[in-house]
Amino acid sequence: MGECRVCTGPVNEFFDFGRQPLSDAFVRKEDFASEFFFRLAVGVCGSCSMVQLMNEVPREHMFHEDYPYLSSGSAVMRAHFERTAERFLATELNKPDPFIVELGCNDGAMLKAVADAGVRHLGVEPSGGVAQVAEAKGVRVRKTFFEESTALEVRAADGRADVIFAANTLCHIPYIGSVLRGVDTLLAPDGVFVFEDPYFAEIVRRTSFDQIYDEHFYFFTAQSVRAMAARHGFELVDVEPLPVHGGEIRYTLARAGSRRPTEAARELLREEVDAGLADLDTLRGFAARVEDIRDGLMSLLRDVRGQGGTVVGYGATAKSCTVTNYCGIGPELVPYVCDSTPAKQGRFMPGSHIPVREPAAFADPYPDYALLFAWNHAEEIMAKETAFKDAGGRWILYVPDVHVT
């Protein structure tokens, strides 16, 4: 049993993936012997219902100069963040001299539109390489981890923020109490803290167990977010389901009593009580389905290979690290994975050591099957790879179950 990083309550483990490497540590041959491993297991807090990893990886191991993930790697995500910026500009930032801070701004996918509009902004981004890409787009960045001390520095330099935004970042931060104290320090009295992350109810519904990896420390629900917010004087005032990354929720927190919670927030909180997301039965069911998916995927891949068929991976996602290492998929089953991210190409996938190649390698020649690791971008990818299907190729998916299309 662990101790909850939010409320110090007892955390009950419900799934153990065993020894796992760092999901975004794309390695060179000379790094194979020194790869970092830890025990990846997930549990739920018996007091505040926050779902969280049982073990924490030191943040400098994950987020550094060579962090390879680029938010702008997907056209759908670029459009999503442009729309997000436009919405903020038209609503919360529609006042004299507004100021927005983004935690984990990455390559500036969201803040670029804010910078282009001439609105005061700051990205806080510890991964130097991606922060530099944002700076090249005209985005102002502070290259550090956001926590309580950062908030004091930013407030002293720039004043309070009308909006603090974080996409796919808050769930990456085990020391979340320090972040919420920082938000309290930095946010204007009538400001909002808006964050969007994979929704645990969707992970259970789709059995998308590959959302569980080193960087994803927390798996939020409206219930657990509300309890966490209350500990810091905040209230959950709005929720918005988002279709991106396999199903997310955008949560809006405001200082308690400063805004009226929307009907959507109240409704989701009610729904979750009935869904029993934190119940042991629900979590045992999830665990059993994860094992079934592993067995089904492995027998499919072995059958295809046994009959002389070829399989190539599509999208060297962080999520794929859990799939390959938990299921035991190596280069003998999937000889390479294609990915559009320059920093991943020419390297090897963590743990499994499957080579990563450029997208052009996919058609050279087309394999019989493509294992879609980037299933959350399925629509975008299948639309651009129609020639693969026309040539007789088939996609293998494992979310929400193992199937071929």
**What's the order of all strands across the beta sheet hosting 337-338?**
356-357, 337-338, 311-314, 369-372, 394-397, 403-404
Separation CA 355–CA 335 (nearest Å) = 7
Q: Looking at beta carbons only, is 122 or 283 nearer to ligand SAH?
A: 122
Q: Looking at beta carbons only, is 142 or 245 nearer to ligand TMP?
A: 245
User: Should residue 45 be labelled a site residue for Zn ion when binding is judged by CB under 5 A?
Assistant: yes
User: Should residue 7 be labelled a site residue for Zn ion when binding is judged by CB under 5 A?
Assistant: yes
Q: Looking at beta carbons only, is 176 or 304 nearer to ligand SAH?
A: 176
Kindly determine how many residues on this chain lie close enough to bind Zn ion according to the rule CB under 5 A: 8
Instruction: Name, in order, each residue with C-beta under 8 angstroms of 169's C-beta and a sequence gap of 6 or more.
Output: 103, 104, 195, 197
Q: What mask, x for binding ligand SAH by CB under 6 A, covers residues 124 to 163?
A: xxxx--x--------------xx-----------------
Q: How near is the Cβ of 217 to ligand TMP at its closest, in Å?
A: 16
Q: Looking at beta carbons only, is 64 or 305 nearer to ligand TMP?
A: 64
End-to-end CA distance of the chain: 41
Q: How near is the Cβ of 274 to ligand SAH at its closest, in Å?
A: 30
Q: Looking at beta carbons only, is 169 or 341 nearer to ligand SAH?
A: 169
Beta strand pairing call for 187-198 and 218-219: unpaired
For residue 23, count other CB atoms closer than 10 A to its CB: 27
Residues, the chain: 405
Q: Looking at beta carbons only, is 147 or 272 nearer to ligand SAH?
A: 147
How many CA within 13 A on the CB side of residue 116?
12
Q: Which does 7 bind (CB under 5 to 8 A by kind): ligand TMP, Zn ion, ligand SAH, none?
A: Zn ion
Cβ(170)–Cβ(138) under 8 Å?
A: no
Closest by CA position to 397, among listed 285, 310, 320: 320
Provide the phi-psi class of 370: left if phi over 0, else alpha when psi is between -120 and 50, else beta: beta
Residues at the site binding ligand TMP, with contacts judged by CB under 6 A: 73-74, 315-318, 339-341, 344, 359, 374, 376-377, 380-381
One-letter identity of residue 238: D
Separation CA 348–CA 363 (nearest Å) = 20
Q: Which does 126 bind (CB under 5 to 8 A by kind): ligand SAH, ligand TMP, Zn ion, none?
A: ligand SAH
Q: Which does 47 bind (CB under 5 to 8 A by kind): Zn ion, ligand SAH, ligand TMP, none?
A: Zn ion
Q: How near is the Cβ of 379 to ligand TMP at its closest, in Å?
A: 10
Residue 111 tokens, joined: 């803040």
User: Should residue 369 be labelled a site residue for ligand SAH when binding is judged by CB under 6 A?
Assistant: no
Figure out which of the listed residues 15, 63, 209, 218 binds ligand SAH, where binding follows CB under 6 A: 63
DSSP state, 194? E
DSSP state, 199? B
Q: Looking at beta carbons only, is 57 or 297 nearer to ligand SAH?
A: 57
Task: Tell me if residue 177 falls in helix, strand or coil.
Answer: helix
Provide the phi-psi class of 116: left if phi over 0, else alpha when psi is between -120 and 50, else beta: alpha
Q: How near is the Cβ of 130 to ligand TMP at its closest, in Å?
A: 13
Q: Which does 293 bind (CB under 5 to 8 A by kind): Zn ion, ligand TMP, ligand SAH, none?
A: none
Task: Tell me if residue 9 falls in helix, strand or coil.
Answer: coil
Q: Which does 341 bind (CB under 5 to 8 A by kind): ligand SAH, Zn ion, ligand TMP, none?
A: ligand TMP
- Give contact residues for ligand SAH (rule: CB under 6 A): 63, 67, 69, 71, 103-104, 106, 124-127, 130, 145-146, 167-169, 172-173
- Give contact residues for Zn ion (rule: CB under 5 A): 4, 6-7, 9, 45, 47-48, 50
